[in-house]
Copies of this chain bind each other. A is one copy, B any other.
Amino acid sequence: MVGARSILPIMKQATIYSIAQALEVSASTVSRAFSRPDLVKPEVRERVLATARELGYAPNRAARGLATGRTGLYGLLVPDVTNPFFPPLIRAIQQAAARVDAGVLLVDSEGSGAAETALVSRIKAQVDGLLVASPRLATAKLKEALGAVPSVIINRAAQGLATVVCDNTAALREAATHLHDLGHRRFALMRGPSASWAAGRRAHAIRSWAQEAGVSLAELGHYEAVFVDGRRAAAQIVESGATAVFAFDDLMAAGVIAGLSDLGETVPRDRSIIGCDDVLLARTMTPGLTTVTAPLEELGRQSVLALHGLLEQRPVPNVQLQGTLTVRGTTGPPP
């Protein structure tokens, strides 16, 4: 014994065996004190827990995983971490997962359906279950890729899979009415990606409202849900003659505003714009963006709850949450 290193004795991490030894009980008892406390005499359990704390014991995840087949990890697959829609969702998921003692393994598919397939099969052996946010893949392919891994799909309907979605229909109708009340009669709708489930839903909500209200609606797109596509679309909007615009999401809305500004227009003086999602950007731009706020924290929490339920063999109902209208500064009376 040479290296008497000063502070921390190079003591190997405590195991159930070290605890068992210290207490002169068997390792099984220690194990059970944690995983099945009801099977251990209260007094013994207390002593085990105390000693564990003393020795700084933390169960070895790998060993537990090997024995139980559970990793304590949830995979989270997002199409694009840098899209401001996802970070609040990620955070909520992370928190909720921590509450059920699970970690979050994050992967980004860079918006590619092919990558989704690859990533899913890459990580499905490493996790207990998968949370798939806004998948690009068609439902059938998605199901195939997922195989038997317990999964929850976020922000998209998918027959035969557990889903947690946000319905914006009511909020969008409210938004439309808000614009109508301000005096707008000519509307434009900037459609999102054709493969996007949300885009279809939103378009449908607005389309049916416009029909009922008997106002004109110019449908533009499909566009990619990115800033530059919004910016480029500004000319088409001007051309359409619409005074009020529904952008597919906040990013596109910001793009449109930038594009209109390039053309010498000011929002909301010359035109009103409404976004969707209420990402950080919507709150921080000037003027603030009128938009439909998605309950992202709740979305995250519910997804984790659903996955957790799935893992415990509980039947999990599909969840549908509601978006709400948030009026800020990009809507006003028509010129």
Chain A residues at the B interface, C-beta cutoff of 8 Å: 8, 13, 58, 60-63, 65-66, 71-73, 81-82, 84, 86-88, 90-91, 94-95, 98, 103-108, 123, 125-126, 147-148, 227, 251, 254-255, 257-258, 261, 280-281, 283-288
Contacts and interface: CB of A to CB of B under 8 A. Distances in A.
Given A87-B81, A106-B106, A281 B283 contact: no
Given A62-B66, A284-B227, A81 B90 contact: yes
B254 A286 contact: yes
A147 B11 CA distance: 13
Contact of A60 (B8, B13, B125): B125
Nearest to A283: B227
Contacts of A283: 227
A125 B61 contact: yes
Question: How many copies are assembled?
Answer: 2
A284 B230 CA distance: 10
25 contacts: A61-B65, A61-B71, A81-B90, A81-B91, A81-B94, A82-B91, A84-B84, A84-B87, A84-B280, A87-B87, A90-B108, A94-B106, A94-B107, A103-B126, A104-B107, A105-B105, A106-B106, A251-B284, A254-B285, A255-B284, A257-B286, A258-B284, A261-B287, A280-B281, A285-B285
Which A-B residue pairs are the 10 nearest by beta carbons?
A: A62-B65, A258-B286, A62-B66, A82-B87, A81-B87, A227-B284, A106-B106, A254-B284, A58-B125, A261-B286
A105 B103 contact: yes
Contacts of A105: 73, 103-106
Contacts of A91: 81-82, 108
A261 B108 CA distance: 37
Contacts of A147: 8
A90 B106 contact: yes
A193 B308 CA distance: 38
A223 B21 CA distance: 54
Contacts of A107: 94, 98, 103-104
Contacts of A284: 227, 251, 254-255, 258, 281, 285
Contacts of A281: 280-281, 284-285
B66 A63 contact: yes
Contacts of A84: 82, 84, 87, 280
